[in-house]
Amino acid sequence: MKTWTKEERYRVLTSEQEIRPLYDEIRGSDYRQHYHIQSVTGLLNDPNGFVLHNGLWHLFYQWCPWGAVHGLKYWYHTVSCDLVHWKNAGVCIHPDTVYDNKGAYSGSALPTDENLFLFYTGNHRDDDWTRKPYTCMVELDKNGKTIKHPPLFGMNGNYTEHQRDPKIIYNEQNGKYYIIIGAQTKDKKGCCIIYISDSYKEGWHFAGQLHVPGFEDFGDMWECPSIERISGYDVLIFCPQHITLPGRGGNIHHNGYLLGHMDWETLTFYPDNTKFHVLDFGFDSYAAECAANPNDKNKATLVAWMGLPDASYPTDEENWSGCLTLPRELRVRDHRLIQQPLDRLRALRGNKLNTESTDLLPRVCEAEIICRGGDLRIHMFAKEDHSGGLTLTYDDNKKEITIDRSKMVKRFNIQNGESHSRPLPKGLFHLRIFIDRSSVEIFVNDGDAVFSTRLFPTESENRLCIDGDASVHMWELDRAVEDSFII
């Protein structure tokens, strides 16, 4: 595996011709996705600035052009009219000022009557590599032209250098704007710090640290925080780092949420109970970002990076890595976030397959499985003799569902654990499974739990077998994301 020098990772992209050969090399890969947003070249990590503006959905991602490595980050732009079909729109934020000289890091978007405003962390480093993060703003007009404004504010000296990922929120009640930032206290505790202003363009000042009773010592850094209003609840979504959680193997980076109530006067988020809910029970999900649903204020749409920090993937050898999850509609049911695939995804359904007459599993498809009770075992990507593959097992005695990818030929991130379980107290009755060329997303019981996982099947791993009382419907899915070279 290639070892990257700092110079290689932080090389500035000066012309698209510099990465054209990389694109030509990877476009033929068997693992390029058909309906998931993926890196145009190099590495994709967090989704950023997910928003509807003037009838168009915008979704940006953290992008390092040079290979499967974290280095100089750009905001790469994709657009969609329906949240299903996506087009590449080229680089939007270049790290080209002193404030973001070592990366335009993650952030969020604010739609206004005129332009779209993007808020991000300028990852500045001095020559001796000391980091000084800035909160920056870029204005994007309808012709795709960007104006970089001077930074809104710099680093807060009462916290460590880990201050990033601004989420802008407008509070209709008091007419104020807030920016929430993921941070680390000087005694190495993860937290959020909050800035306030009457105008999103200027006048920002530090309002205080977010109090979250019961979560004062929960990981050493909180990345990508946000507070969303969903089904009458406030939801604090964040990524606590360097902490292990029961049932999450050796993984130390998590993405989860607390349901509760946000008091903007005292800057306190009161969780309804002490439960930190994991957002996704699969192996690869991080840095989720939500877009408000303008038609229904009780709902939001979530998308996440289908990947993890400090992890490597089989396509690293092909010089690219990373894709996003499908957008999911969020609601609250039984005191939990429910994540459902968008209805409009059904438009991608093509040929209906007869699963009675063949056990071949297409590489791009959707399966809907109605479970009639009792134990169930689903083998995806099994070999011809039905051995190996990814297994999804439901144990009716234990009322628990387990995903296990340890029997795949290409194994990776083994240290994080290869099997994850989730209790299903009410049993298993429904599954919707979305398979793309290198990922699987499983929606359990109408969105009650989701498992998102990257997977890199070899040619011989192409069978599906199901043991248990269930009926299966399966469709091939059309391509929905263009893999075009637009820089």
**Burial letters 284-303, b for 16+ CB under 10 A, else e:** bbbbbbbbbeeeeeebbbbb
CB atoms within 10 A of CB 27: 14
| Residue with Cβ nearer ligand FRU (57 or 75) | 75
The residue among 32 and 102 lying less far from ligand FRU, judged by its C-beta, is 102
β-sheet bridge partners, residue 208: 194
Q: Which of 334, 312, 257, 306 is nearest to 434 (CA)?
A: 306
Which residue, 9 or 201, has its beta carbon nearer to ligand FRU?
9
461 belongs to the binding site for ligand FRU (CB under 6 A):
no
- For residue 354 the two structure tokens come to 């007869």
What are the backbone angles phi and psi of residue 401, rounded to the nearest 5°?
-115, 140
Q: What residues between 324 and 363 interact with ligand FRU by CB under 6 A?
A: none
Q: How far apart are the first and last CA of the chain?
A: 27
Quick note: the x/- pattern for ligand FRU over 298-317, rule CB under 6 A, is -----------x--------
Q: How far is the CB of 287 from ligand FRU (least distance, A)?
A: 5
Question: Which residues have a catalytic role annotated?
Answer: 46
Task: Considering only residues 117 through 136, tell me which ones interact with ligand FRU, judged by CB under 6 A.
Answer: 121
Instruction: Work out the burial of residue 157: count CB atoms within 10 Å of its CB; fewer than 13 is exposed, 13-18 middle, 19 or more buried.
Output: exposed
Smaller CB distance to ligand FRU: residue 19 or 369? Answer: 19
Of 36 and 463, nearer to ligand FRU (C-beta) is 36
The yes or no reply on residue 163 touching ligand FRU (CB under 6 A) is no
Q: Least separation, in Å, of the C-beta of 11 and ligand FRU?
A: 16
Assess contact for 95 and 37: CB atoms under 8 A: no
∠ CA(9), CA(145), CA(297), 5° rounding? Answer: 95
Smallest distance from ligand FRU to CB 174, Å: 28
Spatial neighbors of 321 by CB under 8 A, at least 6 apart, are 39, 42, 43, 44, 68, 307, 312, 313, 315
Q: How many residues bind ligand FRU (CB under 6 A)?
A: 14
Which CB atom, from 64 or from 477, has the smaller least distance to ligand FRU? 64
Looking at residue 200, the DSSP 8-state letter turns out to be S
**Interaction between residue 287 and ligand FRU (CB under 6 A):** yes
Question: How far is C-alpha 188 from the chain's CA centre?
Answer: 25
Report the residue from 53, 102, 148, 164 that binds ligand FRU according to the rule CB under 6 A: 164
Q: Binding string to ligand FRU for residues 49 to 78, with x set by CB under 6 A, is what? A: -------------x----------x-----
Tokens representing 14 are 């000066």
In this structure, the number of other CB atoms found within 10 A of the CB of residue 462 comes to 18
In the complex with ligand FRU, the residue whose CB is nearer, 108 or 121, is 121
Residue choice 41, 106, 251, 255 for contact with ligand FRU (CB under 6 A): 106
The residue among 106 and 391 lying less far from ligand FRU, judged by its C-beta, is 106
Name the minimum Å distance from CB 439 to ligand FRU: 18
Contact flag: residue 45 with ligand FRU (CB under 6 A): yes
- We find the least distance from the C-beta atom of residue 473 to ligand FRU, in angstroms, to be 36
State how beta strands 116-125 and 400-407 pair.
unpaired
Told to check if 284 binds ligand FRU by CB under 6 A, we report: no
Chain CA centroid to CA 121, Å:
18
* Position among 165, 318, 329, 366 found at the interface with ligand FRU (CB under 6 A): 165
3-class SS string, 203-255: CCEEEEECECCCCCCCCCCEEEEEEEEECCEEEEEEEEECCCCCCCCCCCECC
Q: Does 254 bind ligand FRU (CB under 6 A)?
A: no
Give the residues lining the site for ligand FRU (CB under 6 A). Answer: 45-46, 62, 73, 105-106, 121, 164-165, 223-224, 286-287, 309
